[in-house]
Chain A
Amino acid sequence: MAHSLQRLLLVRNIQWTITKQSICVIPALNSSYNKTFVPPNPDPKFYKDDVPAKDDELSQKNIKPAPSDQTYSCFYDHELHRFEKIVLRKGNSVQTRQLIWRTFEEIKCIQLKKYNAADEDEKENIELNPLKIFHQALDNAKPLVDVVSVSKGGASYRVPVSVNPNQQLFFATKSIREELWKGKPKNAAALRLAKELLAAYNNEGGAVKRKLDLHKEAHANRAYANLLHG
């Protein structure tokens, strides 16, 4: 079934070929590209400052189009964008957009109140940038290993495996998201998310606890690590 579907898709897809080196915004499936195609770098600075030369490595290559949902705004952040798409519910991206703007507002309010109340020596340690807090919180919630269940000889084992950065980001956002949806809400969603992010920024809270639990399980089952390959 899967093979026939793949064949159908290959026939129906038009194979986009890019003759010039340019930033193309046409969305297309990855399947239509050969292995010779190079992933894009949609950064205006990259194209303006580095002028293409004749002996350039890239002058011989074809380049994939840029992702359709990426913008050239200076406020664009890739990790934040991925976070938005994972928290999304029922395709209501306006709602999630508003949620994230409001959480950043809440974080700014909480940190500014701290900043104004603190002494002058402590003021340097307080982080006011919500984006930096967000990045630090995600980094603290990212796991180093993952655990997968494998059935072998009639019994299932929890086997520790390595993770790539994409999976790390997904696990961190998922654990923050489930903290957000947990239980009966007392406050607004933005305030809850802001508190969770600030807790993760200080290595506390539910999202960090999930990561530590996963690490514990992986450490306990480290004897099964060879089961995947054997």
Chain B
Amino acid sequence: MRNVRSMSDFTKHRYENVADLGHASYIENIRCDESDPTNHSMDDVSLMYTIPVEHYKRMSPAKWNNKAFSHRFQRMCSAFGESCLMIRKPGLELVNYLKHTNPEKAVNRYIIHGKTGCGKSMTLQYALHYCMSNNWLILPAYHFWDNVKFNYHTKLKRKGELTVSQFNKDRLDQPVYSLKWLETFGWLNQKLLGEIKTTTKYIWSKHESSEEGTSLSALVDLGKARPRHSTDVIGCIMKEIRLQDHTTMPSVLVAVDCINAAFGKTLMKYDGKPVTTDQLSFMCNFKKILSNDWKNGAVVGALDTLGLRQSETTDLVEGEHPYDLLGREGFDLLDPHILIHVQPYTDQEVLAQLAYYKDCKWLIDRSLTAAGEAEIIQLCGNNPADITNYCAGLY
């Protein structure tokens, strides 16, 4: 019977409707036992596989503020005590291409594109994990925007960032950035670098030089010890990769996140004049390795639009097609390339993601009900990043 008293205590109303659970809590098959991406097939789509702890530590070291994975993903991994990725169709497609690379022919370029938050960087990390478990040499460049613009708070740091190159006086070095890059490169390829030897003699200054036949690990150590020459060391490593064959060099993966940053504008200034990307020696070296005049490897690049909104100088971009983001110059450089389109989740994948969160106890009572699940799917609209961001503070 309804009376006045029932109306007055609406403030104490709390949702207690746990009886009807959503679809996600009835899914039984959540995880994939196979932790090596080489053995995944189309039957494993929408399953979560765990990255081994050693591999995950190499992919995203806790020492440096590395941007291989997003901040939220790293924090969730530390909370769960494990690191899981979902097996998806574009990732399998890319790995299948990489499996059939011919070391005696010119490299293929793969460009990952799609809407923001659909998992472009994650497919790139999936391919990187495949290459890591098959002993490829990896040239990483995560969050390429950092190279183009420095988000430091003080002006002094920004001024001290650029120095004139030792090799070419017209170009500018970024010692801090190149030190970070050498650290990540050395950390990723710990076991391989000792076996690879140089083919020519390099002279750094009057007193310092490295002989023919020195290993790459010695070069990396030299770059770390002498920040003045660190950018030139990177150039030498890239030159060696382009010169050597598959007999002396393992196959190479160039993994670039936010590849369109290389062809945009910079926010830096030197002597009161704006700096272009062609003036930066690190960028010049990287653009050479993005072209297809070398063998035994692959180039994988993921596009990004989030950095465009942050920067003030770049013009507005019309669409999300690679031509719009890369521009004329970038599209010409990467011209024969294979496109990999990353689409938002299918309905099956959304439920698999929510089921995984339930298994890790990230989602608890209200969000597991039918009404809660319907609300999550309605608000996020099958976008993976939106689901992770929305479920982060959910109860």
Q: Which of A53, A58, A73, A128 contacts B361 (CB 8 A)?
A: A128
Given contact pairs A100-B393, A101-B393, A128-B364, A73 touches B2 in the complex (Cβ within 8 A) = no
Chain A residues with CB below 8 A from B366, complex form:
74-75, 131
Whether a CB of chain B sits under 8 angstroms from the CB of A113 is yes
Q: Mark contacts of B1-16 with chain A using CB atoms, 8 A cut-off: 1 yes-contact digit, 0 otherwise.
A: 1111011101111110
Whether a CB of chain A sits under 8 angstroms from the CB of B78 is yes
Whether a CB of chain A sits under 8 angstroms from the CB of B100 is no
Interface locus among B218-226, B320-328, B367-375: B367-375
- Contact B392 A78, beta carbon cutoff 8 Å: no
- Contact B393 A112, beta carbon cutoff 8 Å: no
- Contact A129 B395, beta carbon cutoff 8 Å: yes
Q: Which of B7, B80, B392, B394 contacts A40 (CB 8 A)?
A: B7
Whether a CB of chain B sits under 8 angstroms from the CB of A183 is no
Whether a CB of chain B sits under 8 angstroms from the CB of A116 is yes
- Contact A113 B78, beta carbon cutoff 8 Å: yes
- Contact A58 B3, beta carbon cutoff 8 Å: yes
B12 to chain A, nearest CB (A): 8
- Contact A41 B78, beta carbon cutoff 8 Å: no
Q: How far is the CA of A102 from the CA of B75 in the complex (A)?
A: 12
Chain A residues with CB below 8 A from B81, complex form:
116
Count A-side interface residues using an 8 Å CB cutoff.
38
Q: Mark contacts of B97-108 with chain A using CB atoms, 8 A cut-off: 1 yes-contact digit, 0 otherwise.
A: 000000000000
Chain B residues with CB below 8 A from A52, complex form:
2
Whether a CB of chain A sits under 8 angstroms from the CB of B177 is no
Interface locus among A27-35, A42-50, A218-226: A42-50
Q: Mark contacts of A67-79 with chain B using CB atoms, 8 A cut-off: 1 yes-contact digit, 0 otherwise.
A: 0000001111110
Whether a CB of chain A sits under 8 angstroms from the CB of B185 is no
- Contact A41 B361, beta carbon cutoff 8 Å: no
- Contact A57 B10, beta carbon cutoff 8 Å: no
Whether a CB of chain B sits under 8 angstroms from the CB of A171 is no
Q: Which of A57, A58, A73, A109 contacts B75 (CB 8 A)?
A: A109
A115 to chain B, nearest CB (A): 7
Residues in B8-30 with C-beta less than 8 Å from chain A: 8, 10-15, 17
Given contact pairs A102-B393, A112-B362, A129-B395, A75 touches B4 in the complex (Cβ within 8 A) = no
- Contact A130 B7, beta carbon cutoff 8 Å: no
Given contact pairs A43-B10, A75-B375, A131-B395, A112 touches B361 in the complex (Cβ within 8 A) = yes
Q: How far is the CA of A38 from the CA of B8 in the complex (A)?
A: 8
Q: Nearest B residue to A67 by beta-carbon distance?
A: B10
Chain A residues with CB below 8 A from B79, complex form:
108-109, 112-113, 116
A107 to chain B, nearest CB (A): 9
Chain B residues with CB below 8 A from A153, complex form:
none
- Contact A63 B393, beta carbon cutoff 8 Å: no
- Contact B393 A104, beta carbon cutoff 8 Å: yes
Q: How far is the CA of A66 from the CA of B272 in the complex (A)?
A: 60
- Contact A57 B392, beta carbon cutoff 8 Å: no
Q: How far is the CA of A41 from the CA of B5 in the complex (A)?
A: 10
Whether a CB of chain B sits under 8 angstroms from the CB of A105 is yes
Chain B residues with CB below 8 A from A57, complex form:
1-4
Chain A residues with CB below 8 A from B332, complex form:
none
A-B contact pairs, 21 of them (CB 8 A): A38-B8, A46-B6, A56-B1, A57-B2, A58-B2, A74-B17, A74-B366, A74-B372, A102-B392, A108-B79, A108-B392, A109-B76, A109-B79, A112-B360, A112-B362, A113-B78, A113-B79, A115-B361, A116-B79, A129-B395, A130-B395
Across chains A and B, which 9 residue pairs bring their CB atoms closest together, nearest first? A101-B393, A104-B393, A131-B395, A41-B10, A112-B79, A105-B392, A109-B79, A74-B371, A57-B3
Chain B residues within CB distance 8 Å of chain A: 1-4, 6-8, 10-15, 17, 75-76, 78-81, 360-362, 364-367, 369, 371-372, 375, 392-395
Other A-B pairs, 16, CB within 8 Å; known A78-B11, A113-B79: A39-B7, A40-B7, A41-B7, A42-B10, A45-B17, A58-B3, A75-B366, A75-B395, A78-B10, A78-B12, A101-B392, A112-B360, A116-B81, A129-B364, A129-B395, A131-B366
